C-alpha cells in the first residue's frame, strides 16, 4: 500500500504526501520521532538523553534569570533613596558613581562581609561580581537589605549606623 492510499484509508492526521519534483512523504515531527524510535532503540535513547540535557539547560537559564530579577527588585528603591538624600547636585558623574558604589559596598559588607573590590581581588578568575555568585537566600536577604537601607537613608542615619543595623538584620535572616 502506498503512503497516499494508507493516509486516505486510515484518515491519518499528521502525514502529507507530495508528488512531483521535491515531493515525498512527510510526517509531523512528533510522529516522525516516534516512528524513528520504533525502528531504532539507539535513536530513541538519543532523543531521551537530548531532551534531558535541554531541560537541564533550561532550568539553569531559569535559575539565572530568576536570580537576576530577584537582585533587581529593590535596587531602584535603594538607588532613588541614595539619589534623593546622599548626592548633592553639584557633584560630577564620577563622584556620584563613587557614592553609589560605596552604598552598594555597605550592603556587600553587611551581607557578605567584604567589599566588591575585595571579592574581585580574591577571585580574579571569576567573571561578574559577588552578587552573581550569591545563593537564592543571599539574594532575598540582599533585596530586603536594599529596602531597609533606603528607609535608613531617609531617616538620615549615618553610614556606620546603617551598616551595623544591616549586618545584624542579615545575620538574623
Structure confidence by residue, pLDDT tens digits, 113-168: 999 999 999 999 998 888 888 888 888 899 899 999 999 999 999 999 999 999 99
Per-residue model confidence (pLDDT) at position 43: 87
Cα–Cα dist 17/23, whole Å? 7
Neighbours of 117 (CB within 10 A): 11
Of 59, 81, 97, the last residue of a domain is 59
Mean pLDDT of 14-29: 83
The residue among 132, 84, 80 whose CA lies nearest residue 108 is 132
* Full residue range of the structural domain in which residue 148 is found: 73-172
> Global pTM?
0.60
Residue 67 placed within a domain = no
Mean predicted confidence (pLDDT) in 14-21: 84
Counting the structural domains of the chain, the total is 2
Mean pLDDT of the chain: 87
Q: Quick check: is 68 in a domain?
A: no
Same-domain check for residues 90 and 141:
yes
Q: Which residues contact 15 (CB under 8 A, 6 or more apart)?
A: 3, 7, 25, 26, 27, 28, 31
Read off the pLDDT band of 110 (50, 70, 90).
Answer: very high
Are 82 and 147 contained in the same domain?
Answer: yes
Sign of CA dihedral 58, 64, 67, 71: negative
Torsion of CA 98, 130, 139, 143, to 10 degrees: 0
The answer to whether residue 28 is domain-embedded is yes
Amino acid at each position: 500500500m502506498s503512503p497516499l492510499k494508507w493516509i486516505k484509508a486510515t484518515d491519518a492526521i499528521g502525514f502529507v504526501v507530495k508528488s512531483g519534483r521535491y515531493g515525498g512523504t512527510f510526517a509531523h515531527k512528533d510522529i516522525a520521532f516516534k516512528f524513528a524510535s520504533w525502528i531504532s532503540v539507539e535513536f530513541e535513547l538519543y532523543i531521551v538523553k537530548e531532551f534531558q540535557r535541554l531541560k537541564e539547560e533550561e532550568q539553569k537559564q531559569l535559575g539565572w534569570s530568576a536570580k537576576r530579577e530577584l537582585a533587581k527588585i529593590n535596587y531602584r528603591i535603594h538607588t532613588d533613596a541614595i539619589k534623593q538624600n546622599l548626592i548633592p547636585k553639584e557633584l560630577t558623574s564620577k563622584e556620584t558613581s563613587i557614592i553609589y558604589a560605596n552604598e552598594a559596598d555597605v550592603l556587600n559588607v553587611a551581607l557578605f562581609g567584604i567589599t566588591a573590590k575585595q571579592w574581585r581581588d580574591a577571585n580574579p578568575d571569576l567573571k561578574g561580581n559577588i552578587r552573581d555568585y550569591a545563593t537564592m537566600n543571599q539574594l532575598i536577604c540582599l533585596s530586603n537589605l536594599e529596602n531597609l537601607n533606603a528607609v535608613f537613608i531617609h531617616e538620615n542615619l549615618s553610614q556606620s549606623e546603617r551598616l551595623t543595623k544591616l549586618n545584624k538584620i542579615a545575620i538574623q535572616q
